[in-house]
């Protein structure tokens, strides 16, 4: 066992670090983007740099424009990227989830048309799965697609679609056969977000920002050539996306506060029970936060090291998000309470307190996005531990005859 | 033993609930959130007309002379309805005057509170201090200097009950806000508006002793526990209602134990808090020695209840719960305000254990 980089990994890390140091210099000390366009332009420029220097799609097959490297290279790159000022985030859904689905299930023509362009950052993608009626129960969606010659016509509504308002394309799960049981009547397509009949309306989040949208489809034409997988195989394609999602959103969000934040904060606070940093309740919370966050990181490394030795990682990875999101909520609440009135007054921009307040608000969404705490626990219980599954009364009923219990 | 409120208190709380159900609640909260005004003036007039600000004021000073029980039941109703009016702030000031005010002070301030012409606030926080830490705000020959922020309802109040360093610990002072600069202070709670009070040699009257102050925060803790219980109860009802309605995987989500147990835990925390708060209400009304630990337990348990209900209410709503449009955010944000209103959980947990130790010593 060795927790250090192997000589090859160390060499790769040194190379990547040197490149990022140079390439990300221009973003250092930049203020937050002032407009949406500026945000997108900045994100685009970084993706383009990576693409030009052969650092995009590190683990993707060469045939799809990737580098065909192992997962250790990707993790080393993203670790180094996270230490820099490089602007990332906008491509996590497209490149992390949508495009892997496209090249796993899409036709050759579709792959050639969309994958390279996405990789260089030229086109932005979103994931059009959830609907008002169904989120956890993805197979319960209603947006319909009806065949019309060489096209399909899509009508319905998606919701909570992150970055839809900035996207050029999306992968959409639709119902093509309402008389089949719910999992069997689904089909996935690529949809042009600028096509007539598509309307993305940003939705404001509880935390104040508006990263997600409701998206309306009113008779939107999609060529059959843009179908991802066979008609009726949308569930299978969707599962590919969700598996990639668990990897893409599983970890702790970049720049989010952690045990160090709490430790630093506690150092600066004197309480009647003594300096906060010496209080047992504070020390216990720092320890809890460390155990959870670092435990998840080490678990991810375990999975990666299995991969780097050509073995299949176990199911341990599935604990990530359920741990990270709630830990963030608990740590942030504790830190704000420790700060008493100062933790409740809106923190000054870019201050540690403002970040903690942001984390407290955002953690509530993180516990829901990409599979809720409850659904993730069901997955651990059923798929990992082999406990019997929930009864699914509607599983074999034709979708249009389902009556909820 | 009668571990429940009097019939009078129940009757008052029912009439308050009827009025608040009609005129307060999440919609009214949202209107105030979206506006620049500091409170709902029309609602405040109804509160005054219903006699709620007069409830605790003695008859001699133009009030109804009701007991602490009435303060508690009303606090719960205002907590439940999120009512964007300075009721709790004014109530805390009323209690401070009743506990520690001289006859002259009571005669000077209570009639205005009873008839609604005086709105008051309670100003203690000045950063990371706890309620019993010596405040940085100082008194010198009847004048106060220091900054209090964020203070709930400071923007609307004409009278402030302020903590400042006394001879043995913090003590209360009364400050007329007429000539004092009060600036808006942004907080995590977008409905209950807060302000910053800058005192700079501002004339003030002492209100009781440091010992009175310690008793005051115990009483305030009981009242705020009831407020938190009201808020927690409303968040729980919202979550339970949704769990009975929302369908996933062909069943109402309330059928899943993951959901059911969360709702049951909300109830368990709420009822534990209520039991402690009732014990606190009795100790308050009876002026019993038990108040110190009863109040601390009530406050601690109520903060646990409201935080859990507020967080899991968002969670049980899924994506819709994380939107601006959803009412979940009101409870999520208010739970932060309740925590900041009078020392957070860790402070009260510590005060609880100190009180228990003292009792043990006394018994030995
Ligand atoms: C910030 C954010 C970003 C998002 N981005 C996207 C996106 O880009 N694209 C996209 O398609 N979607 C996106 N989503 C949607 C997200 O995937 C769904 O919100 C989530 O899957 C939950 O679905 P729902 O909102 O319909 O809640 P529901 O499924 O209705 O769940 C409601 C509650 O019931 C519980 N529940 C449901 N089923 C069970 C069960 N069997 N056992 C126990 N409890 C259960 C849930 O855990 C939850 O607490 C995003 C959501 C958020 C918050």
| Backbone angles phi and psi of B321, in degrees to 5 | -70, -20
Reported as a single tens digit per residue, the pLDDT across A104-153 is 999 999 999 999 999 999 999 999 999 999 999 999 999 999 999 999 99
Q: Which CATH number covers residue A346?
A: 1.20.140.10
* Residues of chain A with C-beta less than 8 angstroms from the C-beta of B248: 134-137, 140
Q: Which residues contact A359 (CB under 8 A, 6 or more apart)?
A: A256, A257, A328, A331, A332
Domain assignment of residue A390, yes or no:
no
Whether A245 is catalytic is: yes
A237 and A130 co-located in one domain = yes
Residue of B nearest to A372 (CA): B318
Closest by CA to A285, choosing from A252, A259, A256, is: A259
Question: Active site residue: A9, A245, A316, A374, which one?
Answer: A245
A215 and A285 co-located in one domain = no
Per the rule left: phi > 0, alpha: psi between -120 and 50, beta: everything else, A396 is alpha
Burial letters for A251-270: b for 16+ Cβ neighbours within 10 Å, e otherwise? bbeeebbbbebbbebbeebe
Q: Which CATH number covers residue A167?
A: 2.40.110.10
Residues A386 and A379: their CA atoms lie apart, in Å, by: 9
CB contact under 8 A, A344 and B189: yes
Reported as a single tens digit per residue, the pLDDT across B206-245 is 999 999 999 999 999 999 999 999 999 999 999 999 999 9
Burial letters for A309-344: b for 16+ Cβ neighbours within 10 Å, e otherwise? eeeeeeebbbbbbbbbbbbbbbbbbbbbbbbbbbbb
Q: Give yes or no for A281 touching B (CB within 8 A).
A: yes
CB contact under 8 A, A206 and B324: yes
Domain assignment of residue A234, yes or no:
yes
Cα B197 to ligand 1 centre (Å):
43
Residue B160 CB neighbours (<10 A): 28
A53 and A156 co-located in one domain = no
A200 and A282 co-located in one domain = no
- What is the predicted pLDDT for the residue at A259? 96
Domain assignment of residue A104, yes or no:
no
A232 and A263 co-located in one domain = no
- What is the predicted pLDDT for the residue at B288? 96
Domain assignment of residue A378, yes or no:
no
Residue given tokens 């942001």 in the structure block: A358
Residue numbers in chain A where pLDDT is lower than 50: none
A258 and A362 co-located in one domain = yes
A145 and A82 co-located in one domain = no
Residue of A nearest to B258 (CA): A374
Reported as a single tens digit per residue, the pLDDT across A307-338 is 667 777 777 778 999 999 999 999 999 999 99
A134 and A177 co-located in one domain = yes
Residue bearing the CA closest to ligand 1, atom 12: A130
B256 CB within 6 A, ligand 1: yes
Residues A174 and A234: their CA atoms lie apart, in Å, by: 8
For residues B165 and B134, is the Cβ–Cβ distance under 8 A?
yes
Per the rule left: phi > 0, alpha: psi between -120 and 50, beta: everything else, A156 is left
Helix then strand then coil, % of chain B, to nearest 5: 60, 15, 25
Residue bearing the CA closest to ligand 1, atom 23: A135
ipTM of this complex: 0.96
- What is the predicted pLDDT for the residue at A245? 78
Q: Which of A70, A88, A106 is the last residue of a domain?
A: A88
Domain assignment of residue A317, yes or no:
yes
For residues B66 and B12, is the Cβ–Cβ distance under 8 A?
yes
Structural domains in chain B, sorted by start: 7-118 (1.10.540.10), 122-209 (2.40.110.10), 212-363 (1.20.140.10)
- What is the predicted pLDDT for the residue at A248? 60
- What is the predicted pLDDT for the residue at A250? 62
Q: Which of A196, A218, A241 is the last residue of a domain?
A: A241
Residues A127 and A108: their CA atoms lie apart, in Å, by: 21
Residues A108 and A198: their CA atoms lie apart, in Å, by: 26
Q: Give yes or no for A336 touching B (CB within 8 A).
A: yes
Domain assignment of residue A295, yes or no:
yes
- What is the predicted pLDDT for the residue at A300? 83
* Average of per-residue pLDDT values in chain B: 96
- By the 10 Å C-beta count (0-12 exposed, 13-18 middle, 19+ buried), A179 is classed as exposed
For residues B179 and B21, is the Cβ–Cβ distance under 8 A?
no
A236 and A263 co-located in one domain = no
Domain count, chain A: 3
Reported as a single tens digit per residue, the pLDDT across B306-353 is 999 999 999 999 999 999 999 999 999 999 999 999 999 999 999 999
Residue bearing the CA closest to ligand 1, atom 31: B318
CB contact under 8 A, B324 and A329: no
Nearest Cα of chain A lies from the Cα of B137 at a distance, in angstroms, of: 15
pTM of the model: 0.96
For residues B213 and B161, is the Cβ–Cβ distance under 8 A?
no
Q: Would you say how long chain B is, in residues?
A: 364
- What is the predicted pLDDT for the residue at A249? 57
Q: Which of A221, A241, A261 is the last residue of a domain?
A: A241
Residues A256 and A258: their CA atoms lie apart, in Å, by: 7
For residues B225 and B299, is the Cβ–Cβ distance under 8 A?
yes
Residues A284 and B76: their CA atoms lie apart, in Å, by: 33
* Residues of chain A with C-beta less than 8 angstroms from the C-beta of B128: 269-270, 338-343
Q: Which atom of ligand 1 has the smallest separation from the CA of A374?
A: 47
A73 and A150 co-located in one domain = no
Domain assignment of residue A42, yes or no:
yes
Residues B265 and A207: their CA atoms lie apart, in Å, by: 26
Q: Which domain covers residue A278, as residue numbers?
A: 250-368
* Residues of chain B with C-beta less than 8 angstroms from the C-beta of A377: 258
Reported as a single tens digit per residue, the pLDDT across B14-49 is 999 999 999 999 999 999 999 999 999 999 999 999
B314 CB within 6 A, ligand 1: no
Residues B92 and B73: their CA atoms lie apart, in Å, by: 14
A216 and A234 co-located in one domain = yes
Domain assignment of residue A210, yes or no:
yes
- What is the predicted pLDDT for the residue at B267? 98
pLDDT surpasses 90 at B120? yes
């Amino acid at each position: 066992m060795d927790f250090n980089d192997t000589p090859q990994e160390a060499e790769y890390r040194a190379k990547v670090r040197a490149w990022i140091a140079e390439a990300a210099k221009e973003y250092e000390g930049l203020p937050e983007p002032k407009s949406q366009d500026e945000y997108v332009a900045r994100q685009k420029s970084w993706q383009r740099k990576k693409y030009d220097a052969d650092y995009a799609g590190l683990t993707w097959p060469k045939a799809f424009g990737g580098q065909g490297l192992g997962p250790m290279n990707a993790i080393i790159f993203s670790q180094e990227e996270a230490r820099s000022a490089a602007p990332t985030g906008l491509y996590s859904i497209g490149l992390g989830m949508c495009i892997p689905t496209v090249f796993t299930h899409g036709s050759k023509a579709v792959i050639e048309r969309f994958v390279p362009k996405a990789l260089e950052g030229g086109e932005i993608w979103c994931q059009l799965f959830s609907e008002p009626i169904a989120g956890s129960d993805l197979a319960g969606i209603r947006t319909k697609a009806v065949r019309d010659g060489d096209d399909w016509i899509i009508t319905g509504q998606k919701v909570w679609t992150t970055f839809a308002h900035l996207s050029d394309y999306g992968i959409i799960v639709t119902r093509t056969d309402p008389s089949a049981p719910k999992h069997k009547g689904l089909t996935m397509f690529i949809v042009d977000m600028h096509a007539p009949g598509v309307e993305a309306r940003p939705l404001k989040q509880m935390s104040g920002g508006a990263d997600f949208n409701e998206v309306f489809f009113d008779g939107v034409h999609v060529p059959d050539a843009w179908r991802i997988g066979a008609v009726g195989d949308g569930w299978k394609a969707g599962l590919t996306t969700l598996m990639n999602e668990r990897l893409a959103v599983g970890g702790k969000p970049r720049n989010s506060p952690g045990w160090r934040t709490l430790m630093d904060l506690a150092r600066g606070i004197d309480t009647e029970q003594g300096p906060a940093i010496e209080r047992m309740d504070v020390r216990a919370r720092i320890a809890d936060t460390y155990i959870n966050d670092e435990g998840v990181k080490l678990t991810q490394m375990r999975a990666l090291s299995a991969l780097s030795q050509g073995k299949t990682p176990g199911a341990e990875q599935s604990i990530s998000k359920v741990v990270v999101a709630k830990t963030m909520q608990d740590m942030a609440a504790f830190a704000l309470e420790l700060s008493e009135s100062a933790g409740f007054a809106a923190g000054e921009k870019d201050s540690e307190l403002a970040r903690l307040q942001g984390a407290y608000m955002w953690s509530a969404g993180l516990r829901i996005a990409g599979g809720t705490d409850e659904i993730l626990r069901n997955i651990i219980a059923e798929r990992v531990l082999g406990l019997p599954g929930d009864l699914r009364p509607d599983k074999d009923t034709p979708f249009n005859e389902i009556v909820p219990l | 033993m009668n571990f429940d409120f009097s019939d009078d208190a129940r009757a008052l709380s029912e009439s308050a609930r009827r009025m608040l159900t009609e005129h307060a609640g999440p919609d009214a909260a949202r209107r105030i959130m979206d506006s620049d005004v500091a409170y709902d003036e029309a609602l405040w007039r109804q509160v005054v007309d219903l006699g709620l600000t007069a409830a605790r004021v003695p008859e001699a000073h133009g009030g109804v002379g009701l007991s602490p029980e009435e303060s508690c039941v009303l606090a719960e109703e205002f907590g439940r309805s999120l009512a964007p009016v300075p009721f709790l702030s004014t109530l805390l000031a009323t209690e401070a005057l009743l506990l520690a005010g001289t006859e002259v002070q009571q005669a000077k301030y209570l009639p205005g509170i009873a008839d609604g012409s005086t709105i008051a606030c309670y100003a203690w926080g000045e950063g990371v201090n706890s309620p019993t830490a010596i405040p940085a705000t100082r008194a010198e020959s009847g004048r106060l200097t220091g900054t209090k922020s964020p203070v709930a309802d400071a923007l609307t109040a004409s009278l402030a009950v302020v903590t400042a360093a006394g001879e043995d610990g913090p003590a209360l002072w009364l400050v007329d806000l007429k000539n004092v600069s009060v600036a808006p202070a942004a907080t995590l709670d977008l409905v209950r508006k807060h302000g910053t009070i800058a005192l700079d040699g501002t004339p003030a009257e002492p209100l009781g002793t440091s010992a009175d102050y310690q008793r005051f925060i115990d009483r305030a803790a009981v009242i705020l526990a009831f407020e938190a219980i009201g808020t927690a109860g409303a968040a729980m009802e919202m979550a339970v209602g949704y769990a009975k309605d929302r369908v996933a995987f062909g069943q109402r989500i309330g059928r899943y134990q993951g959901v059911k147990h969360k709702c049951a835990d909300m109830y368990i925390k709420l009822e534990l808090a209520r039991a402690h708060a009732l014990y606190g209400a009795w100790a308050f009304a009876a002026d019993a020695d038990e108040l110190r630990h009863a109040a601390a337990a009530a406050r601690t348990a109520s903060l646990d209840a409201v935080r859990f209900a507020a967080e899991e209410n968002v969670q049980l709503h899924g994506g819709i719960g994380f939107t601006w449009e959803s009412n979940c955010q009101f409870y999520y944000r208010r739970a932060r305000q309740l925590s900041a209103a009078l020392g957070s959980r860790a402070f009260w947990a510590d005060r609880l254990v100190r009180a228990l130790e003292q009792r043990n010593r006394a018994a030995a």
